[in-house]
Structure 1
Amino acid sequence: MESFTSAQAYLERHFSSGKTYSLERIRSLLSDLKSPHLAVPTIHVGGTAGKGSTSFLIASILEHAGYRVGLYTSPHLISITERITIDRTPITESAFVAILESIKSAIPQGATYFEIITAMTFAYFAREHVDVAIVEVGVGGKLDCTNVVDPRVSVITNVGLDHTEILGETIEDISRDKREIIKPKKPVISGVTQPQIRDLIIEKAASVDAPLFLAGRDFHIKNLTIGRPIVFDYVSPEKTLSNLELSLLGRHQVVNAAVAITAVFQSGFIVTADAIRKALSTASYPGRMEVMGNIIIDGAHNPMKIQALSNALTDHFPGVQFETLFAVKGDKNAFDMVRTLAPFVSHWYLTTLEALTDWGKGQMLPVNALEKTIKEADPGKPVSVVEKPEEFLQNPPPPTLITGSLYLVGAVEKWISGSRT
């Protein structure tokens, strides 16, 4: 592997591999690499929405407590190196190339893009002797290639309809898939509130004797004050933390923070209240309710995440309507996303961009199809088409909201930063 560019090209050739979902390939690969995924204590984080933010918050708390923390998330915004970090520092391009080269001979026929990057991550964290790895599920749970870890704690943030072509058409099907990250006798933490989904998680946890901690039952958010920062109390039978300040915006992030705190407490790592306070008060997560002057950037890309964004806009920007740059992947429920966001939009600006997912599919919804959807879901609103996001960004009309796709957010972040990565 001669360069970072050639390493990226190698991975991209595996986008269309592995149409059959199973754990056989990743298990074989990791076995040949002497099981690096078992060399480091792990916290495994799944869910439909909030798993990235929760993973980030868990990592931040442990880092502030003095641990060397590996964090594996997906997708990235600008560079693939963002997916693999230690103490919030992305893997260098040279280290990325070296790790890929070191495992290349063991990569089996048909291995997927995501399987290869996951194996690289485990190999890198083992090589760098991290104290703990926070591993975010890619899609689902049962057959996601991260589901080979032996976690200290499993987390299921919440469950909604997404990736139905892989996970099933109903919320119950998706819940059954996601709950498979629950492991025997290992604590599981969840922010799920829907009774029927809770019951499925309770059932699975009981069947494998896994201690279960549910938001609103076993730990609570009290005295919530919406502002910048958000202030709240975390309350559980074992611990009360009063007047916590959270710099992330949106009450959904408070739930994520409470789940993260509980996961850390159940992980066995020693963490002080001061470490938790510092982690929450300084948290900054690019592309998630990120405010840049008159621009808000949020990577909400399914109906559940758009609902969370809408709630956050109501809380933090009441009565404001936004000039909205919007793009959606073709496999998302664009109608429900538009209908939910419509009260916060004064003018829709539609754009598209080339996007490949880790599964080698999922081009962006064509602008003409998206325009038709908006006219059905939000009739009467002005709609404009911009060929490229950067055309809009050269003179964005305030106040501006950019959302609908993490790929769109990545393109925007790249343009704003001037990156050519």
Structure 2
Amino acid sequence: MTYQETLDYLFNALPMFQRIGAAAFKKDLSNTLQLCEHLGQPQRKFKSIHVAGTNGKGSSSHMIAAVLQEAGYKVGLYTSPHLKSFTERIKINGQEIPQEKVVDFVAQHRDFLDSLKPSFFEMTVGLAFAHFAAGEVDFAVVEVGMGGRLDSTNVIIPEVCLITNIGLDHTQFLGNTLGEIAGEKAGIIKEKVPVVISQNQPETLEVFKAKAMEKSSPVFFADQFFKVHQIGLNKEYKNCDYQVFKNNIESIYSLDLFGKYQEKNLPGVLMVLEVLKEKGLVIRPETIQSGLAHAAEISGLKGRFQKLDERPLVYCDTGHNEDGIGLLMEQLQAMAYDQLYIILGMVNDKDLSKVLSLLPKEAKYIFCEANIPRALPADQLKEKAAAQGIEGEVIRNVNEALTETRKKASKNDLIFIGGSTFVVAEIENL
């Protein structure tokens, strides 16, 4: 099989939640456990850090991986979904898995995959673990796909678990309250494995405490140790500076991951690194500074408040739920521009009313849609937005929408593209 034929097999023969939604969701770990057994238990051949959460888990995973790599360790990184290429999901030291490795894996295990019929995500987790084991990584930073307790990644025994923000997302699977969702995320907590909680939220506090006690796991609420305040973007808009206090001692960290939400993520990242240092890892303060300052560059992260152009400024971000959009709007409103344009596309299985209520009415809107089955048709999005007092026009293709918006915008305006990972993924030259 060629690489394209292999991808066609993966995307078409195996269910993929990101494209089709609920039909691809599996309610147990049996397939993943069988696949790992077939592969020789690769997940036991490297140390790992497990990262769950509603918002922030992708950024946090990339930051941790970048710092560990900067410290001289060989680091695997598993994240999802991808933006441009399937191979983005699986990296070693920032290098995507070679296409031929994907082809070889499917060819070697095709008969077993055909008989097991795993989901797309289950197969991808097996491929990632096999790649990390073969590459003899020192550590793998493994991002949960959805939830935690029943997520395919939840077959590892990590050195430390990180749970970032908890918000109302995937409620049809994870629960309708923050407490219920936290219970699913807390499913990654393992016996006597330290767990770091990035953000202390009243609705989830007791859930995490109870699960940690049940598992005899030390629990660290990171924002009680690290007080973080965003200072702002530097003059070139190349990095964002953060003031961090620990034990009343001030440090300044400069991140190349933008977005006010990093204010919520940074305490968890710093606490995870503290836990790893307690376990004997050598991670110097200057290494942390350097790793965070170049995290996107080192780890290859895309789509997190990423600057695409200037004059007019063009930014995109994959944030897509109430908490993520809320923080994005705070970030946009803190920036200087004459007119804000928002190119917006969303998926059809979200509660849009709360998200739409957060959007600034004074912006000019262009509604688009991603080329996937889960996409909400742009005409429907326009109708739902109008019900919230938000008016705009429909240009279905995101690149056509951007081209037309650039023609209208002045050099001092700001264009933002977001609402869905899949809309951002279709931006050309990202």
Rounded Cα–Cα distance in structure 1 between residues aligned with 2:252 and 2:399: 41
The answer for the alignment partner of 1:402 in structure 2 is 417
Normalized against structure 1, the TM-score is what? Answer: 0.90
Q: Which moved more, 1:184-193 or 1:123-132?
A: 184-193
**RMSD after superposition:** 1.9
Structure-2 change in CA distance of 1:222 and 1:7 (3 Å): closer
Deviations 1:172-220 (A, max 9, x none): 2111111110111111111122212011111111111111111232x11
Give the alignment of 1:99-110 within 5 angstroms. Answer: 99-107=105-113, 108-110=115-117
**SS of the counterpart of 2:242?**
strand
Residue 138 of structure 1 and its aligned partner are, at CA, apart by 0.3
The answer for the alignment partner of 2:198 in structure 1 is 191
1:393 pairs, out of 391, 395, 402, with 402
Give the alignment of 1:9-408 within 5 angstroms. Answer: 9-12=8-11, 13-15=13-15, 20-107=26-113, 108-217=115-224, 219-222=225-228, 224-228=230-234, 229-236=239-246, 242-267=251-276, 268=279, 269-284=281-296, 285-292=301-308, 293=310, 294-315=313-334, 317=335, 321-343=339-361, 346-355=363-372, 363-379=374-390, 381=391, 383-397=392-406, 398=409, 399-408=414-423
Mapped contact 2:341–2:365 kept (Cα < 8 A): yes
**SS of the counterpart of 1:394?**
helix
**SS of the counterpart of 2:359?**
helix
Residue 253 of structure 1 and its aligned partner are, at CA, apart by 0.7
User: Percent identity among equivalent residues?
Assistant: 30
Q: Which moved more, 1:195-204 or 1:63-72?
A: 195-204
Structure-2 change in CA distance of 1:136 and 1:65 (3 Å): same
Mapped contact 1:241–1:273 kept (Cα < 8 A): no
Rounded Cα–Cα distance in structure 1 between residues aligned with 2:305 and 2:272: 23
Rounded Cα–Cα distance in structure 2 between residues aligned with 1:71 and 1:241: 30
Q: Which moved more, 1:402-411 or 1:245-254?
A: 245-254
Residue 321 of structure 1 and its aligned partner are, at CA, apart by 4.4
Rounded Cα–Cα distance in structure 1 between residues aligned with 2:57 and 2:25: 25
Residue 160 of structure 1 and its aligned partner are, at CA, apart by 0.6
Rounded Cα–Cα distance in structure 2 between residues aligned with 1:302 and 1:188: 25
Q: Which moved more, 1:125-134 or 1:395-404?
A: 395-404
Residue 102 of structure 1 and its aligned partner are, at CA, apart by 3.0
Q: Deviation above 6 Å: which 4+ runs of structure 1?
A: none
Residue 44 of structure 1 and its aligned partner are, at CA, apart by 0.2
Q: Which moved more, 1:22-31 or 1:87-96?
A: 87-96
Mapped contact 1:249–1:312 kept (Cα < 8 A): no
| Residue identity opposite 2:4 in structure 1 | T
Structure-2 change in CA distance of 1:224 and 1:368 (3 Å): closer
Mapped contact 2:229–2:244 kept (Cα < 8 A): no
| Residue identity opposite 2:14 in structure 1 | H
**SS of the counterpart of 1:270?**
coil
Consecutive unaligned residues of structure 2, counting only runs of 5 or more, are 17-22
**SS of the counterpart of 1:111?**
coil
Normalized against structure 2, the TM-score is what? Answer: 0.89
